[in-house]
Structure 1
Amino acid sequence: MRDIELCIKRIFDVVSSIIGIILTLPLMIIIAILIKVTSAGPVFFTQDRLGKNGKAFKIIKFRTMIVNAEKEGDGLFINSENDYRITKIGRFLRATSLDELPQLFNVLKGDMSLVGPRPPVTYHPYKYADYSNEQKKRFEMRPGITGLAQVTVRNSVPWDERIRIDVEYVQKFSIWLDFKILLMTFLKILKRENIYYKPNNEYMH
């Protein structure tokens, strides 16, 4: 049954990403123009992330920060929407999650899914080899644009707790759970909860 649901999940990802790209393409073009005319640097932000089975891939997002932001200030950590490294248009894109739209191409390509554990950078919080065998279970499925941790705790808890929730998602996966997570994602975006770093926790660019 699980294999059938995983097959359905991939079909849904492909169909949804194609429809999503077609419907949002005019919006993505407008966003790209606004980014280009309001700040120096490329339209897109790409970064190596850990995907299924720990294989690295390049995630695509609209750039919301100044070029080389990770080398300034607090690096991967973002304390608030007032972080000086976030561009004016970037602040809006992050608040509305519109910076994630280009990841539909990652989904179509097969690097990601609409729903799954969020893909961490290759070196934080751990390198792939440094995850425990239990924690590596989060990599048994494609990473997602959204996921169970995103709609329950987002960035309000330490990474190890988010990883535990990711493992829980992988173990309890079902098509129905994915639909519930997608619905909860839209509600979370409207409420703008736990977007930024909280004391003693991390937030990934």
Structure 2
Amino acid sequence: MIGIVYYGAGNIFSLTAALDRLGLEYGMILKAEDFDRYDRYIIPGVGHAGSAMSKLEQTGLVPSILKLQKPVLGICVGMQLLTEHSEEGDSTLTSIFPLKTKLFDHQLNIKIPHTGWNRVEHSPDQILFRGISPGAHFYFVHSYYIEFNSNFTIAVAEYGIKFSAVIQKDNYYGVQFHPEKSGLAGEQLLKNFSQLA
């Protein structure tokens, strides 16, 4: 069963609607003891990374998140919270990944935020992408991106530059796009996450 980390900075309705469509059971994590009730976890997030981190810290859940051994999926800002620093508000984050979250450069002559469907390239052997064709399109809404690093990046997208669309470190995963808004490909990814060992 999936535990959704609830801290007031996530678009819970879209996510729970997608999980309902898939018939995946879930519940809300409001306190540290709640983690024991679930076998995988989702950290959603929208808005400002610094504000989201502040809200997450206020819940007292960060120490528990840092010690999790079961699969964890950060979505959008939830993914950015897994990095060590964001240029948004010059914010220190959880540092689960030794990566930085950066603002798209206006000099790239691109529209910011990056909004809409974009191709995501991944290796066919990635279990999170089982049943999803390489180059499938996912839905993005973000002004900040996570730097590409071959040690942690398992899928990439391009928007002026190549950036990390999906990262992984041990049992922690992060996706910059919104799988709950990405049609069949996004639903398959959520289903795959629900089946991770």
TM-score when scaled to structure 2?
A: 0.33
Specify which structure has the bigger relative contact order, considering alpha-carbon pairs within 8 angstroms and separated by 6 or more residues. 1
The structure having more radius of gyration, on CA atoms, is: 1
